[in-house]
Amino acid sequence: MKRKLLSTAVLAATILSAHAYAADTIKVGVLHSLSGTMAISETTLKDTMLMLIDEQNKKGGLLGKKLEPVVVDPASNWPLFAEKARELISKEKVSAVFGCWTSVSRKSVLPVFEELNSILFYPVQYEGEESSKNVFYTGAAPNQQAIPAVDYLMDQGVKRWVLAGTDYVYPRTTNKILEAYLKDKGVAASDIMINYTPFGHSDWQSIVSDIKKFGSAGKKTAVVSTVNGDANVPFYKELGNQGVTADQIPVVAFSVGEEELSGMDTAPLVGHLAAWNYFESVDSQANEEFIEAWHKFTKDDKRTTNDPMEATYIGFNMWVKAVEAAGTTDPTAVQNALIGTSVPNLSGGYSTMMPNHHITKPVLIGEIQDDGQFQTVWETAGLVAGDAWSDFLPGSKDLISDWRAPLSCGNYNVKTGKCSGQNF
């Protein structure tokens, strides 16, 4: 009987201790694919979050409590993202979630965050055409990446355009915007080639051959690539195999950064381009300190940094600052406190969260170097505020997003004076 009572007491003490530990921490959800086709890109963002949480805990945590990361692996399975998001919010009781890469994964979790009124920080470039009070978009909108990239190539004399993407919502919507933009600039439909491939596509021989043929019409041609994930490895390899060099048909990518290049033979890719808001090669004290901290945390001086890491860094620091300002992790209070919050970016300036839940960012065009880094060849004079709704799509150009009271609307139509719902 004594042993039973003792065992019961120990069990009770253990449960009380576990509850006390949970009460003394603020849980932070990390929702990134650690397996499957997107692991090549997303695993690094999980590690970034662990580093940022570790650094914040060394500063004393947040609101007098330690931050506790809760990491899940949705395994590049889009419906599983929603299931894991619900688990993080309802079961784990996280105060905010940092995660998703593809737009299809974000679309999958969006209803969950709105239903449960939680907060998602989304750190990757995307197609726009969305605004939710529960999502804060720290990656680039099309006017912060795709449109400036096309403008740059036009200035370089490009007349024919290959819009190549993975077959899902981000490439299709981005290319819809770019096609409308190009036609508005006087580009003929016959000078635009659009191609989509599935996730993980590996046989690029015929597609690259078609690109070469399309580019042989006597007009300078470029490829605008929204190919995502590990399909980029065989895509760029095939470009090299078929001798598609940057001086012949330059490729500008929106989903290829230092992390992806680290697993490729970059010699044949020198001169091809990427459009981002940050490169590891950016010369600033803030970037030097970030890279040093990253190498120290990973214990690997060869681990690269990239744009979505910076977007994660910005979003995390904005969340910390907003929680401190609100004095609570309550989602509604934090959502309100986030608007107008400014924190340092890694380029040496400050990024601000706008009323449409997008941030201000510089835009950079970089050329691939043989060491897998980018040399910046063009950048905006200042910061660009992200647009939730495209100016080049008929159904979007009259919409604005403003989550401040009294409007509190993600798609307010300036012509009708009506809000047509929380988001798209």
The structural domains of the chain, with segments of one domain joined by +, span 2-141+284-361, 143-283+366-385
Do the domains 143-283+366-385 and 2-141+284-361 match in fold?
Answer: yes
Q: What is the CA radius of gyration of the chain?
A: 23
Q: Position of tokens 């795709």?
A: 146
Q: What is the dihedral of CA 358, 363, 367, 373, to 10 degrees?
A: -60
Q: What contacts 60, CB < 8 A, 6 or more positions away?
A: none
Residues 368, 273: Cα–Cα separation, whole Å: 6
Task: Assess contact for 233 and 348: CB atoms under 8 A.
Answer: no
pLDDT of residue 423: 43
Residues 386, 142: Cα–Cα separation, whole Å: 8
* Predicted TM-score (pTM) of this structure: 0.89
Tokens at 409, concatenated: 């609307």
Task: Assess contact for 52 and 312: CB atoms under 8 A.
Answer: yes
Residues 354, 403: Cα–Cα separation, whole Å: 9
| Alpha carbons within 13 A on the beta-carbon side of 337 | 19
pLDDT of residue 149: 97
3-state secondary structure the chain: CHHHHHHHHHHHHHHHHHHHHHHCEEEEEEECCCCCCCHHHHHHHHHHHHHHHHHHHHCCCECCEEEEEEEECCCCCHHHHHHHHHHHHHHCCCCEEEECCCHHHHHHHHHHHHHHCCCEEECCCCCCCCCCCCEEECCCCHHHCHHHHHHHHHHCCCCEEEEEEECCHHHHHHHHHHHHHHHHCCCCHHHEEEEEECCCCCCCHHHHHHHHHHCCCCCCEEEEEECCHHHHHHHHHHHHHCCCCCCCCCEEECCCCHHHHCCCCCHHHCCCEEEECCCCCCCCHHHHHHHHHHHHHHCCCCCCCCHHHHHHHHHHHHHHHHHHHHCCCCHHHHHHHHCCCEEECCCCCEEEECCCCEEEECCEEEEECCCCCEEEEEECCCCEECCCCCCCCCCCCCEEEECCCCCCEEEEECCCCEECCCCC
pLDDT of residue 267: 85
pLDDT of residue 268: 81
Please return the burial class of 157, using the count of CB atoms within 10 Å of its CB with bins 0-12, 13-18 and 19+: exposed
In order of 90, 110, 170, 197, 201, the CA distances from 167 in angstroms are 32, 20, 8, 5, 10
pLDDT in single tens digits along all 424 residues of the chain? 444 444 444 444 434 333 434 468 999 999 999 999 999 889 999 999 999 999 999 999 999 999 999 999 999 999 999 999 999 999 999 999 999 999 999 999 999 999 999 999 999 999 999 999 999 999 999 999 999 999 999 999 999 999 999 999 999 999 999 999 999 999 999 999 999 999 999 999 999 999 999 999 999 999 999 998 889 889 999 999 999 999 999 999 998 889 888 878 888 889 999 999 999 999 999 999 999 999 999 999 999 999 999 999 999 999 999 999 999 999 999 999 999 999 999 999 999 999 999 999 999 999 999 999 999 999 999 999 999 999 999 889 999 999 999 999 999 999 999 998 544 4
pLDDT of residue 421: 59
What is the CATH code for 143-283+366-385?
A: 3.40.50.2300
Residues 103, 112: Cα–Cα separation, whole Å: 15
Distance of CA 128 to the CA centre of its chain: 12
Task: Look up the CATH superfamily of 2-141+284-361.
Answer: Response regulator (3.40.50.2300)
pLDDT of residue 8: 44
Could you tell me which of 136, 130, 31, 135 has the C-alpha nearest to residue 83?
31
Residues 103, 78: Cα–Cα separation, whole Å: 10
Task: Assess contact for 67 and 317: CB atoms under 8 A.
Answer: no
State whether the Cα torsion 315-75-303-125 is positive or negative: negative
What is the CB neighbour count within 10 angstroms for residue 287? 20
Task: Assess contact for 255 and 243: CB atoms under 8 A.
Answer: no
Tokens at 83, concatenated: 């299931």
Residues 170, 348: Cα–Cα separation, whole Å: 29
